[in-house]
A and B are shown apart, each in its own frame.
Chain A
Amino acid sequence: MTNHILEFEDVWKTYHMGDSDVNALAGLNLTLEEGSFTAVMGPSGSGKSTFLHVAGILDIPSKGLFRINGRQTSELSVKEQAILRRNEIGFIFQRFNLLSQLSALENVTLPMIHEDSEKAKMILDKMGLHGKYHKFPNQLSGGEQQRVAIARALINDPSIILADEPTGELDTANANSIMQVLQDLNRNDGVSIVIVTHNQASAAFADEIIHMQDGKIKVDEK
């Protein structure tokens, strides 16, 4: 039996912009299963980033229910949300967001409570970064930096990886390579993955593509 990893039940996220309210999410209903690989696409302002923020507990819905691994996030304290992010979610950002003053290895061990350099090296090796443990981000190519970011996202064995435009800053070859890494993680290790992307080629690596518009799902391709 498969478990629901993410559950959105009539989720609304409303932002107040001056005198008017903008619904970034407008009654979103979606359930993603454990082990799924989903790409979320849509034009700017369609609500896909807000979707990812709510999914990553970086933001709380204004209305409706959202659960991650069965836990309703609006009922958690700020501290519990942070701990859930650390243990259950791995983030990958468009601009890598590595800490420039830390080496690749230090960036990977950053989210760990008990530092385990051997585990970090093992994941970096898996990402094809053997021997680059002590390089700083500015000594690595864009593709390599994103691989370090993926290693950082994996270090606490998360249930799900949320990636915001993971190939947005990369050339085609590097973009394909990164998507291949994510696909392998999903297929071989069973890690659930959600990516938000504008790139059709990147989205093609996913098993399911969701198109969003006006804060709702427009099309769900499986």
Chain B
Amino acid sequence: MDLYKLALNNIRRRKLRSALTMLGIIIGAAMLMVLLGLTAGTTTAIKDETNAYMYDIAISPESTSGSYLMDSQTISQVENMSNLHDFREVTAFSEDMNSTKLFFEGVNNWKDAKIINGTQGVVVNQVAVEKLGYGIGSKITVKGDELTVTGISKEAQAPYVYINQTTARQMAGDQVAVIYASTNGDPKTVADEVKKQLSGVSVETKSDKVKEIQEMTDQALLFMGFIASIALLVGIISVINTMLISVMERTRELGVLKAIGFTNWEIKGSILFESGLLGFFGGVIGVILGIIGIYVVANALNLADYIPGMMPVWLILGVIVGATILSVLAGLYPATKASKLQVVEALRND
């Protein structure tokens, strides 16, 4: 008979104890899932929110230059600088519409526009909807071009129209308002060099606060992982306990198995398989409960948009595989103890 079938049988016959042992793993795995999932989700949310500020330096026209935009010649000069790379440009300009100032902004990543209705292309924000009566399908004529509104985004403080950056740059006469870039080397030193080489531009380095926030979110992920791992560890200790008791209770049975020809490794394998099964099932149930927990907490915290990011495949597989491997390791000592039982002594055991 398959010893692995026997291991399954052992779990079945001691239902309550197996369930209680698994409960420890389930709680640990569910906590790991919820804490790491929520932290991963909120980290993504924070990164999304701060992504617009993720640059080493930002180059824009100096306020005293009298223009808000840089011409193509300045843009080329910036982009040809050897100590700058990964450029991202934004064109912004405003137009008076029925005596209301309407801002146009070029968009590189439509996720930043936070569309709540409709699709990307020409997106007006809620303020523009309220003040200028725009809606999906409305026509906006600007600089001789006619734009058709395709979507509506979240509210901002002023009326905005978001369009593709390429379109915005063309409409603004091949000009951009700001160029974000990464630097080779210390941003402050590079910023000084840029200022020396280009006249009429202002150069800002990334806010240290943003950098700090992003580092904090990374640390939070590590810390939450550590706390939740302790919960899982407590569950794993209960596996050691259960398997040790099980080996003690089954001493005579293990003696019989050895007497009828089972090898030490087969005995060891069956105990490891049994503890691994407890870990696997505990991990699976824990992940399912964790996912339910994530839905509940994320909805309560208004983070429903980030739910998919809260349950990445690496986390789900990691928790299940981790709980299984740790449980197998927890079974090592009881399994070794079982395999080293003296048959004659074991058969005398009551």
Interface residues, chain A, with chain B CB atoms under 8 Å away: 53, 56, 58-59, 78-79, 82-87, 89, 91, 93, 97, 99, 101-102, 106, 109-112, 115, 152, 156
Q: Given A56, A78, A83, A84, which contacts B259 in the complex, CB threshold below 8 Å?
A: A56
> Which among B55-63, B213-221, B260-268 touches the partner chain?
B260-268
Q: Is the interface of B mostly helix, strand, loop or mixed?
A: helix
> B344 interface residue, CB < 8 Å from A?
yes
What are the residues of chain A within 8 A of B147 when measuring CB–CB? none
**What distance in Å separates the Cβ of A194 from its nearest Cβ neighbour in chain B?**
15
A106 vs B3: C-alpha distance in the bound complex, in angstroms?
11
What are the residues of chain A within 8 A of B256 when measuring CB–CB? 93, 97, 99
What are the residues of chain B within 8 A of A82 when measuring CB–CB? 258, 261-264
Shortest Cβ distance from B339 into A: residue:
A78
Whether A112 and B343, one on each chain, are in contact in the complex, defined by CB atoms closer than 8 angstroms, is: no
A169 vs B289: C-alpha distance in the bound complex, in angstroms?
51
Q: Would you list which residues of chain B between 247 and 262 have a CB under 8 Å from chain A?
A: 252-253, 256-262
What are the residues of chain B within 8 A of A156 when measuring CB–CB? 261
What are the residues of chain A within 8 A of B261 when measuring CB–CB? 82-87, 89, 111, 156
Shortest Cβ distance from A84 into B: residue:
B261
**What distance in Å separates the Cβ of A192 from its nearest Cβ neighbour in chain B?**
17
Interface string of B229-259 (1 = CB under 8 A from A): 0000000000000000000000011001111
**What distance in Å separates the Cβ of B266 from its nearest Cβ neighbour in chain A?**
8
> Which of A79, A89, A97, A112 has most B Cβ within 10 Å?
A97
A199 vs B283: C-alpha distance in the bound complex, in angstroms?
55
> Which of A79, A99, A109 has most B Cβ within 10 Å?
A99
**What distance in Å separates the Cβ of B112 from its nearest Cβ neighbour in chain A?**
62
Whether B1 and A112, one on each chain, are in contact in the complex, defined by CB atoms closer than 8 angstroms, is: yes
What are the residues of chain A within 8 A of B9 when measuring CB–CB? 101-102
Interface residues, chain B, with chain A CB atoms under 8 Å away: 1-2, 6, 9-10, 12-13, 252-253, 256-265, 343-344, 347
* Pairs across A and B, CB under 8 Å, 16 listed: A58-B258, A58-B347, A83-B263, A84-B261, A85-B259, A91-B259, A93-B256, A97-B252, A99-B6, A99-B253, A101-B12, A102-B1, A109-B1, A111-B1, A115-B2, A156-B261
Q: Given B1, B13, B253, B347, which contacts A106 in the complex, CB threshold below 8 Å?
A: B1
**What distance in Å separates the Cβ of A44 from its nearest Cβ neighbour in chain B?**
14
What are the residues of chain A within 8 A of B263 when measuring CB–CB? 78-79, 82-83
Shortest Cβ distance from B255 into A: residue:
A97
**What distance in Å separates the Cβ of A187 from its nearest Cβ neighbour in chain B?**
25
A106 vs B5: C-alpha distance in the bound complex, in angstroms?
10
What are the residues of chain B within 8 A of A85 when measuring CB–CB? 259-261
What are the residues of chain A within 8 A of B257 when measuring CB–CB? 110
**What distance in Å separates the Cβ of B8 from its nearest Cβ neighbour in chain A?**
10
What are the 5 tightest A-B residue pairs by CB atom distance, in nearest-first order?
Answer: A86-B261, A82-B263, A85-B261, A110-B1, A101-B13
What are the residues of chain A within 8 A of B343 when measuring CB–CB? 58-59
What are the residues of chain B within 8 A of A58 when measuring CB–CB? 258-259, 343-344, 347
Shortest Cβ distance from B256 into A: residue:
A97
A82 vs B344: C-alpha distance in the bound complex, in angstroms?
14
Given contacts A89-B261, A97-B347, A111-B1, 20 further A-B contacts (CB under 8 A): A53-B344, A56-B259, A58-B343, A78-B263, A79-B264, A79-B265, A83-B261, A85-B260, A97-B252, A99-B6, A101-B9, A101-B10, A101-B13, A102-B9, A109-B1, A110-B1, A110-B257, A111-B261, A111-B262, A112-B1
What are the residues of chain B within 8 A of A101 when measuring CB–CB? 9-10, 12-13
What are the residues of chain A within 8 A of B258 when measuring CB–CB? 58, 82
**What distance in Å separates the Cβ of B18 from its nearest Cβ neighbour in chain A?**
13
Whether A78 and B264, one on each chain, are in contact in the complex, defined by CB atoms closer than 8 angstroms, is: yes
Shortest Cβ distance from A102 into B: residue:
B9
What are the residues of chain A within 8 A of B347 when measuring CB–CB? 58, 93, 97
A57 vs B6: C-alpha distance in the bound complex, in angstroms?
24
Shortest Cβ distance from B343 into A: residue:
A58
A78 vs B343: C-alpha distance in the bound complex, in angstroms?
12
What are the residues of chain A within 8 A of B260 when measuring CB–CB? 85-86, 91, 110-111, 152
**What distance in Å separates the Cβ of A95 from its nearest Cβ neighbour in chain B?**
9
A84 vs B258: C-alpha distance in the bound complex, in angstroms?
11
A93 vs B261: C-alpha distance in the bound complex, in angstroms?
15
A115 vs B10: C-alpha distance in the bound complex, in angstroms?
19
**What distance in Å separates the Cβ of A80 from its nearest Cβ neighbour in chain B?**
9
**What distance in Å separates the Cβ of A111 from its nearest Cβ neighbour in chain B?**
4
What are the residues of chain B within 8 A of A152 when measuring CB–CB? 260
A205 vs B155: C-alpha distance in the bound complex, in angstroms?
99
A82 vs B296: C-alpha distance in the bound complex, in angstroms?
55
Whether A115 and B1, one on each chain, are in contact in the complex, defined by CB atoms closer than 8 angstroms, is: yes
> Which of A53, A82, A86 has most B Cβ within 10 Å?
A82
**What distance in Å separates the Cβ of B336 from its nearest Cβ neighbour in chain A?**
14
**What distance in Å separates the Cβ of A58 from its nearest Cβ neighbour in chain B?**
4
**What distance in Å separates the Cβ of A79 from its nearest Cβ neighbour in chain B?**
5
What are the residues of chain B within 8 A of A84 when measuring CB–CB? 261
Shortest Cβ distance from B13 into A: residue:
A101
Shortest Cβ distance from B260 into A: residue:
A111
